[in-house]
Structure 1
C-alpha cells in the first residue's frame, strides 16, 4: 500500500492481480449484477489508488482495507438504485471468481472461527452488518434494539474478532 500511495502503478496492478477476483466476488455478492460488479472493481481500485495514503496498517490488512472500499462502493450503488443487498448462495457466484489461493482460504477459516467465537447476538449483528450490508439503523430496527446498543455491540464484537485474529 505504501508503494501505491507513492503512485506506483505496478504495485496497484499487482494488488489487482492478487485480489481483483475476490473484490469482484464481494461486489457481486451484494449487487447480483455482473456489469455493476465489474464497475465496482474498477471504481474500488481507482479509489484505492487515490486514497492509499489514508490506509493505516494498525487498523487492518491491505486486503481488508480494499474489501471495505469495495463493500462501501457496492452498498452506495445499491442505495442509489433504491435496492437492498441480496444474500447469495456461494453456488450462485460465477465459478471463475470462486477459486481462492490457500492464503485466502486460511483467512476465511480464521475469520469464520473468530465470528463463531462471538456471543450469539453479536454474531447476528456482525452478519447483518457485513454480510447482509445493513446499516446500523436498519439493524436496530430489524433486531428491535436501540441504535446505541447496536453500535456498541458491533464495536465490541469487532474488537473481540481483532484480538482473536491477532492471536492466529
Structure 2
C-alpha cells in the first residue's frame, strides 16, 4: 500500500503530531478550566502542591515533547505500528484523566485511570526507546510528571 503524499513530508507529519498533542491538551484544558475556580480551589491539597500557573506551561512542554518523540519514531519507519498504537492509547488516557478528575470531579476514579496512564506512558517510552533513543528520552520527563501527578492525585483523593 502506498503511503499518502501528505505523510511523505516529515515536516508535515511533525506539524500534525504537534497539532494532535496540543489539541489533546486544549481539550483537556476545557474540562479543567471550568472546574479550577468552582471546585479545585475548594479541595484540601498537600503542602507540596505546585501553584496553579505551573501546570499549563509544564503540560504544554510535555505535549510538544510527546509530539517530537512520536515524530522521531515515525521517521524510523521500522516496525512503528505497536509503538504508535501505544502512543495513541497513552494520549487518549491522558485526555480522559482531565475529564475524570475535573469534569466528573472524581479524584478516586481519576487516580485509577492515572495508574493505567502511567503504565501506558511507561510502555510507550520503552517502545520508543526500541526505535529511537532520543524519542525514549523525550518521554522520561513525561513519566516523571505523571508519577508526580499520580502522587498528587492520590493525596487529593485521600484528603477529600
Q: TM-score, normalised by structure 1?
A: 0.30
Say which structure, 1 or 2, has more relative contact order (CA 8 Å, 6+ apart).
2
TM, length-normalised to structure 2: 0.31
More helix by share: 2
